[in-house]
Amino acid sequence: MAETRGCSAWWVKDRARRRLIPHTRVGRAYRFTADHLAVIIRIHEEPAPQRAQRTPSPASPPESAMTPSRPTRQARPSTSSAPRLRARPPRRSQYGTAA
């Protein structure tokens, strides 16, 4: 099963133990049928990203005439009401250092 999925046996057993993938348990062994494998592949399938198709408006210049610009940064939400976190001071060594 792990070789077919291209992952480790540990990953498969861990997911089966946590009941995240379909399986049959016989004693202490995990068993997978062809149907189980098909469902597991379907669960972890990632669809191809959809590209939005733009239709150029007649008033806009062609894309080749446009100069590349820097992407705009989105403003981060204000976190002024949240307290600032401080680093904890390091623990003293259990063993003194002789200098």
Residue 7 to residue 21: CA distance in whole angstroms:
14
pLDDT value, residue 96: 63
Place of tokens 């623990």: 91
How do residues 72-91 score in pLDDT, each as one tens digit?
A: 666 666 556 777 888 888 77
Which of 11-15, 22-26, 29-33, 45-49 is least confident? 45-49
**Token pair recorded at residue 34:** 């062809």
In this predicted structure, the answer to whether residue 29 has a pLDDT above a threshold of 80 is yes
Is the alpha carbon torsion for 13, 19, 20, 21 positive or negative?
A: positive
Rounded mean pLDDT, 25-47 = 89
Distances, alpha carbon 91 to alpha carbons 83, 87, 97, 99, in Å: 23, 12, 14, 19
Place of tokens 């133990």: 17
Rounded mean pLDDT, 23-41 = 90
How do residues 11-25 score in pLDDT, each as one tens digit?
A: 888 999 999 999 999
